[in-house]
Amino acid sequence: MKLTTAGESHGKTLVGIIEGLPSNLQLDFSKINEDLALRQSGYGRGGRQKIEKDRIEVLSGVRNLLTLGSPLAFMIVNADYKNWENCMSAESCDVTQRTLTKVRPGHADLTGLLKFAQTDARNILERASARETAVRVAAGSIAKQYLSALGVQVSGYVKSVCGVSDGAEYSFEQLAEAKKHPLFMLDEGKEEQAMKLIDALKERGDTAGGVVEIRIHGLKSGFGSCMTYGEKLDARLAGALMGVQAIKGVEVGLGFAAADLPGSRVHDEIYKKDGAFFRHTNNAGGIEGGMSNGEDIIVRAAMKPIPTLMRGLNTVDFVSGEPCRAAGERSDVAAICACEIILESVAAFTVAQVVSERLGGDNMAQVIKRYSELY
Ligand code: EPS
């Protein structure tokens, strides 16, 4: 299973193509659009989300709500394009409008300009923009429907915002509550505190990041491999999560905390009852030897603060070479809720890829039968 995305932030449309889906997967488009709306939601988002109303429009690969086994192509239209057509069109247009040369620290602007031999960072940032993640959310939502047919669920919540951290542990079932909250947090006191902090940062023209936890529930053991490093499930998930804009760190299970503890307090002891193996703890985050072990898979990712600050940071104008403040027309203050649903989607797509690599299957009935035969 493979996803290709295309599209610029203020271009005509975003596009996705998924190859390798089996036939006869029943799709619920309203669920995909719900995930797209969640990506646009959350406390601290900026003006752009008032313009967009993201919806999936399927172009091929589906008939009467059922996948055909052919490439599934879809688009998500950029409503803002009408305001940018005169400088973003593929046809001849006026590229002297909306140029960006006051390169933003933390964004792709400067390194992209040098690498792609450009003088206007617009040619870099349009693609580097997190707008592209709308496609990954739609694809991840389809992957969730594929996994759901096997009894595998994916969920998550926001664990911290700019240092306001929820240290509690929650059951998988409790995570469903998170999306009802303005910051997808489960501790209301912490959430209140985080919202006040976002207000204060907005006032100061500053931005926030945070930490998101994603869980995959119900995946049988043996997905991934201990035999070749590229097939390790933790490596696949970490690579996919790190591939999301603004992610600077990923951990699995206890993660970095495991390095500070003796082995007796880290490794999950193994028991057997009625023919089934189980553990009382899940410090490994559901992955041992690069393979799922049947417990919940737990991954956390750290999002850096948004690099477009309304107050601007010190930088240099790429064309004049003069010191200046970085550009900032409008910006999200925090996009941690978007980050949560994006990471959930990317994790779901990665697990769906790993499942389809192991099980193959031309049609859903075959996939479901093969999955049911596993331990
Ligand atoms: C982004 C800048 C902002 C964000 C955008 C990502 O867009 P604009 O420049 O239009 O104000 O809103 O994210 C989205 C549009 C989105 O849908 O997530 C950036 O520079 O990365």
Domain membership of residue 284 as a residue range: 2-372
Q: Is the CB of 153 under 6 A from ligand 1?
A: no
Work out the average pLDDT over 85-96: 98
Confidence category of residue 328, pLDDT binned at 50, 70, 90: confident
Percent of the chain's residues with pLDDT above 90: 98
Work out the average pLDDT over 179-198: 98
Residue with tokens 């646009």: 40
CATH number of domain containing 334: 3.60.150.10
Whether the per-residue pLDDT at 119 is higher than 90: the answer is yes
Q: How far is CA 40 from CA 7, 224, 366, in A?
A: 17, 32, 36
Is 26 in a helix, a strand, or coil?
strand
Whether the per-residue pLDDT at 101 is higher than 90: the answer is yes
* Alpha-carbon span 31 to 37, nearest angstrom: 10
Is the separation of the CB atoms in 156 and 211 below 8 Å?
A: no
Confidence category of residue 270, pLDDT binned at 50, 70, 90: very high
State the total domains in the chain: 1
Rounded to the nearest whole angstrom, what is the distance from the C-alpha of residue 180 to the centroid of ligand 1?
Answer: 23
Residue with tokens 């995959």: 216
Total-model pTM: 0.97
Residue with tokens 């052919």: 70
* Alpha-carbon span 3 to 91, nearest angstrom: 27
Report the residue among 45, 131, 310, 345 best suited for mutation to probe ligand 1: largest number of ligand atoms under 8 A from its CB.
131
Backbone angles phi, psi at 222, to 5 degrees: 95, 5
CB atoms within 10 A of CB 259: 8
Work out the average pLDDT over 87-91: 98
List, for residues 201-210, the tens digit of each pLDDT value.
999 999 999 9
Rounded to the nearest whole angstrom, what is the distance from the C-alpha of residue 44 to the centroid of ligand 1?
Answer: 13
Rounded to the nearest whole angstrom, what is the distance from the C-alpha of residue 122 to the centroid of ligand 1?
Answer: 12
Whole-angstrom distance between the N-terminal and C-terminal Cα of the chain?
23
Confidence category of residue 329, pLDDT binned at 50, 70, 90: confident
Rounded to the nearest whole angstrom, what is the distance from the C-alpha of residue 60 to the centroid of ligand 1?
Answer: 28
Backbone angles phi, psi at 97, to 5 degrees: -85, 145
Confidence category of residue 117, pLDDT binned at 50, 70, 90: very high
